[in-house]
Copies of this chain bind each other. A is one copy, B any other.
Amino acid sequence: MAPIITAFERSPDRGRGLARDMRVRWALEEVGQPYDVRLVSFADMKEPAHLARNPFGQIPTYEEDDLTLFESGAITLHIAETHPGLLPDDPNARARAISWMFAALNTVEPPIFERSLATILEHDAPWYQQRLQGLNDSIRKRLTSLAGHLGDAPWLDGAFSAGDLLMVTVQRRLHGSGLLEEYPALAAYVARGEARPAYQRAFDDQLAVFRDAQREEG
């Protein structure tokens, strides 16, 4: 049985590959593991069937035989640990790649995700410009550190790993903000990730879901 992931029936990102199922799709494509997708509506996500998959009612989830997982980071790590291709064999290099996975999700993503929410939820608030400035500064602080570490290297620590996969996806949410362009090495790093054939296949698959949903609108 191929694993089954969940994804938005109608993604609020309109097919730009920003929803967190993209990470899992990309990881599965990198390791060559076929998978099925169960599309869920916002209403479905509040139902007991989905809450049993993820108590927080979010996507993505991952079902494989009698195992059910949630959290895109945990699912990516599980795929990386059970298939070759996304983590180095050397135990120390492997532990370092996992450090980068957590850094992507716990240090780099929070201000980027917060900015993304603020542009929607606080756009008309009187404090919006000041808040955006503060968030941009927090993001620049992280990107400056990241660019300083990356230097001229293609990936964060040796060969492409699950750490790079997550770090590319969290920065993609900056497309259109102008922030990534302030760091040419990071813009090139993200582009390098997006150019990978596995990324392209994953991107096309999530885009097809959005296009199918649009067609239903008639």
What residues of chain A have their CB less than 8 Å away from a CB belonging to chain B? Answer: 51, 55-58, 66-75, 77-78, 92, 95-96, 98-99, 101-103, 105-107, 109-110, 113-114, 121, 125-127, 130-131, 134, 142, 145-146, 148-149
Contacts and interface: CB of A to CB of B under 8 A. Distances in A.
Contact of A58 (B92, B107, B134): B107
Nearest to A91: B67
6 contacts: A55-B146, A67-B95, A68-B96, A70-B103, A72-B102, A121-B134
B105 A105 contact: yes
Contact of A114 (B57, B69, B102, B114): B114
B55 A74 contact: no
A138 B114 CA distance: 12
A216 B46 CA distance: 54
Given A55-B149, A56-B142, 20 more contacts: A55-B146, A55-B148, A56-B146, A57-B145, A67-B92, A69-B96, A69-B99, A70-B103, A71-B107, A74-B103, A78-B98, A105-B105, A106-B106, A106-B109, A110-B110, A110-B113, A110-B114, A125-B130, A126-B126, A127-B131
